[in-house]
């Protein structure tokens, strides 16, 4: 595939249409990210290209874009944007429907949080208030959420909690048909609302270049969304007559019964994810104010695994962040109408993160940019090749506190691509500009 790539502008390659592809694919990559440079940057795996071809081969596909943090996922790569007409692609939303970020702003400065004992106290206070880890649910920490409140949350997301679109990507995603049944396995996970989850979901205290303190939060729709996604992978494969393990090729006619059910339930999962982030975000604000004083509030909330209707088409972002620049009609009436909305980009708990704003050029990438630095080492590989003592020492010297006794090797800095490489590519291609770089000072991992 690499031989067929055409470089059309700095940081912008096109993979021309071949036999099965319905459209060409636009890849936003630097030469370094594409071809590799030294042992630290191995370049893009061949398997990514096979998955890009798969993404461009679905019925109804009108455009495909690939972000610089891309890597292999199920069916289509993490870091892919697929625009479709009349077709829904569960594999282009993935398992963690609605996964995304919240950024909290505070009135605190680096000096206020310099004392490691106080930061440790904040970590303890957050883990006292919210459930952390795989399978953990909110009931362990807080009151049960009654059935009526839950029904409101999945239908009206942030709005059900009395929150509004000034600080969130949207009030809620429309659930057009209230009669669609929530699969039992998903409904059973409703108590996970208000819980962080495991893996690379996190709550992280950060300091920007000017010494201001922020908190970044990453979580999604937990077991609720996962079981909804799973349901449609199974049903979708059956409807298309595909065998097991063929999730990669599932597509749904948006007007079919299954397609309409997916759209409703996908949106319920997304509403759940937004509410989940807001609940956790507010608990984290409370913990900050109690431990450090000052005030903390939600700066912005945005998803990076989601299908949205944009200009009449479906835009599926899988491990990609929406990037509307100033002047985009969807932002009219929001505080971001002039500047564009903030783009929240986590890097790693060791190397730092960033906040970006889109440029007009983002139209080339279906108004999308990367959602992180992107995985470089698999979890297994990380545990094999990285040294525990060396990693712990590095974290100690950098004064980054963790909620775990030792650093999780499979989440340490070297597991992810170099965030600078990824951000430089986005800027070089004219998609967005970095406004702030953020350094971690304390990280709570799920």
Binding site for Mn ion (CB under 5 A): 96, 99, 220
Q: Per rule CB under 6 A, is residue 416 in the interface with ligand 5GP?
A: yes
Q: Per rule CB under 6 A, is residue 446 in the interface with ligand 5GP?
A: no
Residue placing its CB nearer to ligand 5GP in the complex, 68 or 259: 68
| CB 220 to ligand 5GP: min, Å | 8
Q: Per rule CB under 6 A, is residue 200 in the interface with ligand 5GP?
A: yes
Q: Per rule CB under 6 A, is residue 355 in the interface with ligand 5GP?
A: no
| CB 233 to Mn ion: min, Å | 17
Residue placing its CB nearer to Mn ion in the complex, 75 or 220: 220
Q: Per rule CB under 6 A, is residue 68 in the interface with ligand 5GP?
A: no
195 beta partners: 131
Which of 192, 348, 364, 418 is in the footprint of ligand 5GP by CB under 6 A? 348
Q: Per rule CB under 6 A, is residue 353 in the interface with ligand 5GP?
A: yes
Q: C-alpha dihedral over 426, 74, 344, 368, to 10 degrees? A: 50
Q: Per rule CB under 6 A, is residue 371 in the interface with ligand 5GP?
A: yes
| CB 344 to Mn ion: min, Å | 11
Give me the DSSP letters along 88-152. E-GGGT-SSTT-EEEEEEEEEETTTT--HHHHHHHHHHHHHHSB-STT--GGGTSPPPPHHHHHH
Q: Per rule CB under 6 A, is residue 137 in the interface with ligand 5GP?
A: no
Q: 353, 345 in Cβ contact below 8 A?
A: yes
Residue 282 binding target from ligand 5GP, Mn ion, none, CB below 5 to 8 Å by type? none
Within a 10 A sphere around the Cβ of 10, how many other Cβ atoms?
12
C-alpha separations of 177 from 174, 260, 345, 403 in Å: 9, 8, 34, 42
Q: Per rule CB under 6 A, is residue 372 in the interface with ligand 5GP?
A: yes
Q: 343, 336 in Cβ contact below 8 A?
A: no
User: Which range binds ligand 5GP by CB under 6 A, 230-238, 286-294, 322-330, 371-379?
Assistant: 371-379
Residue 322 binding target from ligand 5GP, Mn ion, none, CB below 5 to 8 Å by type? none
What interhelical angle do 257-292 and 147-160 show, nearest 10? 80
C-alpha separations of 404 from 4, 408, 411 in Å: 46, 8, 12
Distance CA 413, CA 191 (A): 32
Q: 371, 319 in Cβ contact below 8 A?
A: yes
Q: Per rule CB under 6 A, is residue 202 in the interface with ligand 5GP?
A: yes
Q: Per rule CB under 6 A, is residue 247 in the interface with ligand 5GP?
A: no
Q: For 436, list phi and psi in degrees, rounded to 5.
A: -145, 140
Residue 197 binding target from Mn ion, ligand 5GP, none, CB below 5 to 8 Å by type? none
Q: Per rule CB under 6 A, is residue 226 in the interface with ligand 5GP?
A: no
String marking each residue 172-191 x if it binds ligand 5GP according to CB under 6 A:
--------------------
Distance CA 430, CA 39 (A): 28
257: left (phi over 0), alpha (psi -120 to 50) or beta: alpha
Residue 78 binding target from ligand 5GP, Mn ion, none, CB below 5 to 8 Å by type? ligand 5GP
CA nearest 418: which of 343, 347, 319? Answer: 347
Q: For 398, list phi and psi in degrees, rounded to 5.
A: -80, -5
User: Which range binds ligand 5GP by CB under 6 A, 238-246, 329-337, 341-349, 425-433?
Assistant: 341-349
Q: Per rule CB under 6 A, is residue 225 in the interface with ligand 5GP?
A: no
Residue 314 binding target from ligand 5GP, Mn ion, none, CB below 5 to 8 Å by type? none
Residue placing its CB nearer to ligand 5GP in the complex, 216 or 285: 216
Residue placing its CB nearer to Mn ion in the complex, 96 or 247: 96
Residue placing its CB nearer to Mn ion in the complex, 225 or 340: 225
Distance CA 271, CA 156 (A): 7
Residue 421 binding target from Mn ion, ligand 5GP, none, CB below 5 to 8 Å by type? none
Q: 359, 433 in Cβ contact below 8 A?
A: yes
Q: How far is CA 103 from the centre of its chain?
A: 13
Q: Per rule CB under 6 A, is residue 373 in the interface with ligand 5GP?
A: yes
Residue 202 binding target from ligand 5GP, Mn ion, none, CB below 5 to 8 Å by type? ligand 5GP
C-alpha separations of 44 from 3, 76, 184, 206, 380 in Å: 13, 14, 40, 30, 19
Residue placing its CB nearer to ligand 5GP in the complex, 258 or 287: 287
C-alpha separations of 11 from 28, 231, 291, 339, 411 in Å: 5, 38, 44, 24, 28
| CB 25 to ligand 5GP: min, Å | 20
| CB 71 to ligand 5GP: min, Å | 8
| Residue numbers at the binding site for ligand 5GP (CB under 6 A) | 69, 78, 99, 200, 202, 204, 216, 304, 319, 346-349, 353, 371-375, 411, 416, 440, 443, 445
């Amino acid at each position: 595939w690499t031989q067929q790539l055409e470089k059309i502008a700095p940081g912008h390659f096109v993979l021309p249409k071949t036999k099965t592809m319905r459209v060409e694919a636009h890849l936003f990559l630097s030469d370094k990210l594409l071809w590799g440079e030294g042992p630290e940057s191995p370049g893009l795996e061949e398997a990514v290209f096979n998955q890009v071809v798969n993404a461009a081969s679905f019925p109804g596909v009108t455009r495909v874009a690939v972000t610089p943090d891309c890597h292999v996922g199920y069916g289509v790569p993490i870091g892919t944007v697929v625009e479709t007409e009349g077709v829904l692609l569960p594999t282009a939303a993935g398992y963690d429907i609605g996964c995304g970020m919240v950024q909290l702003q505070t009135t605190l400065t680096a000096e206020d949080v310099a004392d490691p004992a106080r930061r440790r106290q904040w970590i303890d206070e957050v883990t006292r208030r919210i459930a952390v880890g795989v399978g953990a649910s909110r009931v362990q920490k807080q009151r049960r959420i009654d059935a009526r409140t839950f029904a409101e949350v999945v239908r009206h997301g942030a709005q059900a909690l009395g929150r509004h679109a000034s600080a969130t990507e949207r009030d809620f995603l429309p659930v057009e048909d209230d009669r669609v049944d929530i699969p039992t396995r998903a409904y059973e996970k409703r108590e996970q609302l208000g819980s962080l989850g495991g893996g690379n979901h996190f709550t992280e205290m950060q300091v920007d270049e000017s010494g201001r303190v922020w908190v970044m939060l990453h979580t999604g729709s937990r077991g609720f969304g996962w079981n909804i996604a799973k349901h449609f992978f199974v049903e979708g494969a059956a409807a298309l007559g595909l065998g097991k393990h063929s999730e990669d090729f599932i597509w749904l006619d948006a007007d079919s019964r299954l397609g309409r059910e997916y759209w409703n339930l996908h949106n319920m999962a997304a509403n759940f994810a937004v509410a989940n982030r807001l609940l956790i975000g507010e608990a984290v604000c409370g913990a900050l104010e109690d431990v450090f004083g000052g005030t903390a509030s939600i700066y912005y909330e945005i998803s990076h695994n989601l299908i949205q209707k944009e200009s009449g088409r479906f835009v599926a972002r899988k491990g990609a962040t929406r990037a509307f620049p100033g002047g985009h009609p969807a932002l009219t009436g929001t505080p971001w109408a002039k500047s564009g909305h903030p783009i929240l980009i986590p890097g790693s708990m060791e190397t730092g993160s960033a906040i970006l704003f889109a440029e007009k050029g983002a139209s080339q990438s279906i108004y999308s940019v990367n959602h992180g630095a992107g995985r470089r080492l698999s979890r297994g590989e990380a545990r094999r090749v990285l040294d525990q003592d060396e990693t712990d020492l590095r974290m100690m010297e950098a004064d980054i506190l963790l909620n775990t006794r030792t650093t999780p090797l499979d989440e340490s800095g070297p597991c992810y691509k170099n965030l600078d490489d990824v951000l430089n590519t986005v800027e070089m291609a004219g998609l967005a500009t970095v406004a702030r770089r953020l350094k971690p000072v304390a990280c709570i991992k799920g």
